[in-house]
Amino acid sequence: MVGLYQPFLDYAIAYLQKHLDLEPYPIPEGFECKQGTIGKGARQSEVLTTSTAFQTDKLRQIRAAHVQGGEGLQVLNFVIFPRLNTDLPFFGADLVTLPGGHLIALDMQPLFRDDPSYQQKYTQPIWPIFEAHQQYLPWGGDFPEEAQPFFSPAFLWTRPQKTEVVQERVFAAFQDYLSAYVSFVQGAAPIESEEELLKIKQAQLRYVHYRAEKDPARGMFTRFYGSEWTEKYIHGFLFDLEQKMRE
């Protein structure tokens, strides 16, 4: 069975390859592909986590973590981290299917949530796309308050009941957000002001630090693969900026 999110990943890589000049991004040994077993006896099953990563002149890391463990466990976490000399937002997609249902987070996550000129630059242009999709992808309810500063007003957060909604509506929204993101990348000019560069670095670190600290997948990965592998995966690949800056 092809995983629910495989078409999303295939589409994203093909689309980015077509429009940007992708170079490979090194994936630390042991993270490209990780297999584990969950459950016991007759209920035992395999969980496979695969990692994919690229970079470009403007994008520090384009990376995907894809978890496949049968119909009731499919996750694609796909994030683009811009280089620190641009003011680009992060592209953030957290596409999660668990036995309890689907949970979808899709956004261009801002460096400066409350700055009106930043919103004008990076939220206003995608507002029509957000509105077009939101009517089919209504607000998903309960959302951690401390995570709010990291999302834009055009945040799609939804819990579809039907898998077809994921395959059709979520996939369409994902494509539209990705293409709008690529337009932003193509239009981004390097930032030169020292003051602004410092603010960008702080905002990037704040984001990565938060996500590494609060990664909602930590529990799941620890159950599958143990805590040593999980912490290394989180800090050494998924949210690696702090580690890269220390090197």
Judged by CB under 6 A, which of 13, 27, 48, 147 binds ligand DBV?
Answer: 147
Our finding on whether 211 is near ligand DBV (CB under 6 A) is yes
Q: Which is nearer to ligand DBV, 34 or 211 (CB)?
A: 211
b/e per residue 230-241 (b: at least 16 CB within 10 A): bebbbbebbbbb
Quote the tokens at residue 59. Answer: 């994008």
For residues 164 and 81, what is the distance between their CA atoms, to the nearest angstrom? 30
Q: Cβ 21 to ligand DBV, closest distance in Å?
A: 26
What whole-number distance in Å separates Cα of residue 98 and Cα of residue 47?
13
Cα 55 to the center of its chain, rounded Å: 15
Rule CB under 6 A: is residue 92 a binding residue for ligand DBV? yes
- Among 25, 54, 81, 150, indicate the residue that binds ligand DBV (CB under 6 A): 150
One character per residue 221-240, x = contact with ligand DBV (rule: CB under 6 A) = -----------------x--
* Torsion 5-9-201-122 (CA) sign: negative
At 177 the three-state DSSP class reads helix
Q: Give the residue carrying structure tokens 């040593």.
A: 228
Does residue 96 interact with ligand DBV by CB under 6 A? yes
Q: Which residue is nearest to ligand DBV (CB)?
A: 217
**Contact flag: residue 143 with ligand DBV (CB under 6 A):** yes
> Is the CB of 155 or the CB of 184 nearer to ligand DBV?
155
State the minimum distance, in angstroms, from the CB of residue 92 to ligand DBV: 4
Spatial neighbors of 37 by CB under 8 A, at least 6 apart, are: 44, 45, 46, 47
Q: List interacting residues with ligand DBV (CB under 6 A).
A: 65, 75, 77, 92, 94, 96, 103, 105, 143-144, 147, 150, 211, 215-217, 219-220, 238
